[in-house]
Chain A
């Protein structure tokens, strides 16, 4: 409520005023002293709804409540992020040569493009380190975006390396494996930076008695197991999906060896379109499984089997 005429002398307010025998209504008085009819701010309870970005990060973009010093679990996760960051930076440098980058297209100079690409990778790594150390979602988000930006290249459909120290350029399978490992590391980096924030929040909530965790070792243990198992599974499955140019000819070879040979030597199948085709087929199958409500049936089967035991 604001008053339009701030004054210590209130005498003028009584000029020509009829004293009533009942208390006036608030609205009338509000009208007389030029007040607004807004709802007082403190009458509305504060409701904290996380923004879209906050929910993506698993925690607040700008931490409103200060995290308590990291627990051992969080420190381990931070160490994991640092390790992955180093590996990711090296792999990003290796698999994203300056040719084909946006910088190369803009400047036309390989040297300048290389420098800019290196600055981008270094920037992604630096902000990643800082964001993880400070547990600040803004920096980790920036780091994630920079890593994605670093691999956006107008490249040929074949994988090329900027630095072939291990001599992988002539070994297509190992080259594919390297890219898969890079992709898995990138996902794990997303997940671990997210985990640092999530577990920092959880740890703070536990220590401030907002949340009670029964048997935390088991819960944390399950997360650790998932951190180990999921990347391995993802690597294996992705390798299968990406090996469409060898798997498809194998099945076709049962019917016709000539066609299988032609497929193996087909440029389309070993190109990015071949990969995309294989991926499309595999995910059609996965989508079908979901459409058939397989997860629910799987769960029911597991429950029934456990009940039977």
Chain B
């Protein structure tokens, strides 16, 4: 039996009145104490739950005849999907069954992760469950943040009508689901490989060759196809000019996501890690849609990598890794670069997503990439802006740190890195265009 504070208070009051009545020789006080005792006893014995035990053991430790009232209640749960995207909705159906022949009044609370919002229905239900009956409780949660989540356990409580005594039990029914980072539809990323690969594909690699997009004009040489002659240019210049097309090829794209603990600086829903994972997901989807080969590296307290591959399955592998990215540790970028450099094709586009904070090796690491002729794009969501917007830093502190950040960005730009200071309200496509100088 679990006493509520109310019953404990009444019990204490009764004892106090009883003793005080004896001391003051006041029979009214003793009478009131007796009535309170009777009231409590009756509620404990016949107050609707009636399965209270004086042993003080936990409800879930009970078996057999003990705790009969709650042992006969079971729960099952069904989710509408095991994988959804951020801001998506999940329909949860909880099935409560009463195997007993007695009706029960139950308080049921299905525990959902704190970051979830109940959009429709309720996860907290007060109900009367008839004998050998079952009922379905349906509610919808909105999932605003990526991650691995679990729904459960189901907390069930039976109490007397006056709320004096209650018994609780957790039904250990859990359902896991995954929230992928949400993705932005990208029309163009302006990221192109300079290195051809064996298989032609949809990606322009900034070299003339068989392809579909215009690259440049040149003079006509013998053997050129007449269909390639640009007649307008001929009319202007008086020389036969032919169109050159940009060569298509499959590219290797490497996306590096900074998941160090400093990446989570800022509010829970607006920080560099949230923006980086969303950007990585959007970029992966875009490049995989172009039949590129995409690899992802997430680093924080360890370096987690998804090997380059193509196709829809690869997208789900990447999304799963991004969903599980947790802000932890402080591995320098140089360590990551040293580890991956031998394994990536020279000249592959590299997209680095980081707030560029608290890592003195960033400049050297990116210099290493540039020295090997990698096409490096850096999108840097500014933790400063997130914190300033959340009023966690004041104007002076903001100005100082902003200046240092600008200096760092300028230095990286000087190395030939395509870099963009990604402000919180800027679309990913705009940030990418800005990074590539468009």
Q: Which of B322-371 contact A (CB under 8 A)?
A: 356-363
A219: contacting residue among B18, B128, B135, CB under 8 A: B128
B400: contacting residue among A29, A186, A222, CB under 8 A:
A29
Partner of A299, one of B50, B118, B360, B395: B50
Interface string of B38-73 (1 = CB under 8 A from A): 110111110111111111000000000111110010
| Cα-based distance from A187 to B414 in the complex (angstroms) | 81
From B18, B47, B161, residue with most partner A Cβ within 10 Å: B161
Decide: B127 and A306 in contact? CB cutoff 8 A.
Answer: no
A184 and B135 CA atoms in complex are apart in Å by: 39
- Is the Cβ of A157 less than 8 Å from the Cβ of B52? no
Contact of B397 among A35, A223, A286 (CB under 8 A): A35
Interface residues of B in 185-205 (CB under 8 A from A): none
Q: Please, which residues of chain B bring their CB within 8 A of the CB of A303?
A: 68-69, 72, 100-102
Q: How far is the CB of B42 from chain A (nearest CB, A)?
A: 5
State which size class the interface on A falls in: 35 or more
B358-398 interface bits toward A, Cβ cutoff 8 Å, 1 = contact, 0 = none: 11111100000000000000000000000000101111110
Measured CB to CB, the closest approach of chain A to B255, in angstroms, equals 21
Specify which chain A residues have a CB less than 8 angstroms from the CB of B360 in the assembled complex.
Answer: 20-22
- Across the interface, do B262 and A306 meet the contact criterion of CB distance under 8 Å? no
Contacts of B100 in A (CB 8 A): 303, 306-307
Residue of A nearest to B106 (CB): A214
Stretch of B1-9, B78-86, B236-244, B291-299 that contacts chain A: B1-9
B125 is contacted by which of A213, A279, A291 (Cβ under 8 Å)? A213
* Contact status B392-A1, CB under 8 Å: yes
Interchain CA distance A5-B400 in the complex, whole Å? 13
Q: Which residue of A lies closest to B100 (CB)?
A: A303
The answer to the question of A79 belonging to the interface, with a C-beta cut-off of 8 Å to chain B, is: no
**Complex Cα gap A151–B27 (Å):** 10
Annotate A155-171 by CB proximity to B: 1 below 8 A, 0 otherwise.
Answer: 11111000000000000
* A76, CB-defined interface residue at 8 Å: no
Q: Do B125 and A214 touch (CB < 8 A)? A: yes
Contact residues in A for B403 (Cβ distance below 8 Å): 14
- Chain A residues near B126: list those with CB within 8 A: 202, 211-214, 216, 219
CB < 8 Å: which of B105, B127, B362 contacts A22? B362
Q: Is A15 an interface residue (CB 8 A)?
A: no
- The main secondary structure of chain A at its interface with chain B is helix
Q: CB-CB < 8 A to B161: which residues of A? A: 222-223, 225-227
Residues of B within 8 A of A100 (CB): 26
Closest A residue by C-beta to B409: A23
Whether B122 contacts A153 by the Cβ 8 Å rule is no
Partner-binding segment picked from B28-36, B141-149, B171-179, B308-316? B28-36
Q: Is the CB of A58 within 8 A of B163?
A: yes
Which of A10, A154, A215 meets B127, CB within 8 Å? A215
Measured CB to CB, the closest approach of chain B to A234, in angstroms, equals 5
Residues of B within 8 A of A183 (CB): 28, 31-32, 34-36
Instruction: Please tell me if the beta carbons of B24 and A22 are within 8 angstroms of each other in the complex.
Output: no
Q: Which residues of B contact A266 (CB under 8 A)?
A: none
B51 & A238 in contact (Cβ 8 Å cutoff) = no
In whole angstroms, what is the CA distance A110 to B111 when docked?
Answer: 61
- Shortest Cβ gap from A244 to chain B (Å): 10
Contact A33 B35 (CB under 8 A): no
Knowing A22-B362, A219-B105, say if A230 contacts B32 (CB, 8 Å). no
- For the complex, is A19 an interface residue (Cβ under 8 Å from B)? yes
Q: Which segment, of A63-71, A255-263, A268-276, faces chain B?
A: A268-276
Say yes or no for B22: interface residue by CB 8 A criterion: yes
Chain A residues 14-60 with CB under 8 Å of chain B are 14, 19-26, 29, 32-33, 35, 40, 42, 45, 52, 55-56, 58
Is A152's CB within 8 Å of the partner chain B?
Answer: yes
**Cross-chain contact A211 with B27 (CB below 8 angstroms):** no
A175-222: which have CB < 8 Å to B? 176, 179-180, 182-184, 186-187, 190-191, 194-195, 198, 202, 205, 209-216, 218-219, 222
On chain A, the residues within 8 Å of B28 by CB distance are: 95-96, 151, 153, 155, 159, 179, 182-183
Whether A55 and B34, one on each chain, are in contact in the complex, defined by CB atoms closer than 8 angstroms, is no
B396 touches A153 (CB 8 A): no
Q: Closest CB-CB distance, A85 to chain B, in whole Å?
A: 17
CA distance A268 to B42 in the complex (A): 29
Chain B residue with minimal CB distance to A294?
A: B45
B21 within 8 A of A: yes
> Cβ of A5 and Cβ of B34 under 8 Å apart?
no
How distant is the Cα of A198 from the Cα of B9 in the complex, in angstroms?
A: 16
Q: Does B162 contact A (CB under 8 A)?
A: yes
**Cβ–Cβ < 8 Å partners of A20 in chain B:** 360, 404, 407
Complex: A101 Cα to B7 Cα, angstroms: 28
Chosen A-B contacts, 5 in total, with CB atoms closer than 8 Å, are A14-B403, A19-B407, A209-B122, A214-B128, A226-B47
Q: Using a CB–CB distance below 8 Å, which chain A residues touch chain B?
A: 1-3, 5-8, 10, 13-14, 19-26, 29, 32-33, 35, 40, 42, 45, 52, 55-56, 58, 95-96, 100, 148, 151-159, 176, 179-180, 182-184, 186-187, 190-191, 194-195, 198, 202, 205, 209-216, 218-219, 222-223, 225-227, 230, 233-235, 237-238, 241-242, 271-273, 275-276, 279, 283, 286, 290-291, 293-300, 302-303, 306-307, 309
Q: Which residues of B contact A (CB under 8 A)?
A: 1, 4-6, 9-10, 13, 17-18, 20-22, 24-39, 41-45, 47-55, 65-69, 72, 100-102, 105, 114, 118, 121-122, 124-128, 131, 135, 137, 160-163, 262, 265, 267, 356-363, 390, 392-397, 399-401, 403-405, 407-408, 411
8 more A-B residue pairs beyond the given contacts A23-B362, A295-B51, with a C-beta to C-beta distance below 8 A? A26-B262, A182-B31, A194-B162, A210-B124, A225-B161, A234-B42, A275-B30, A296-B67
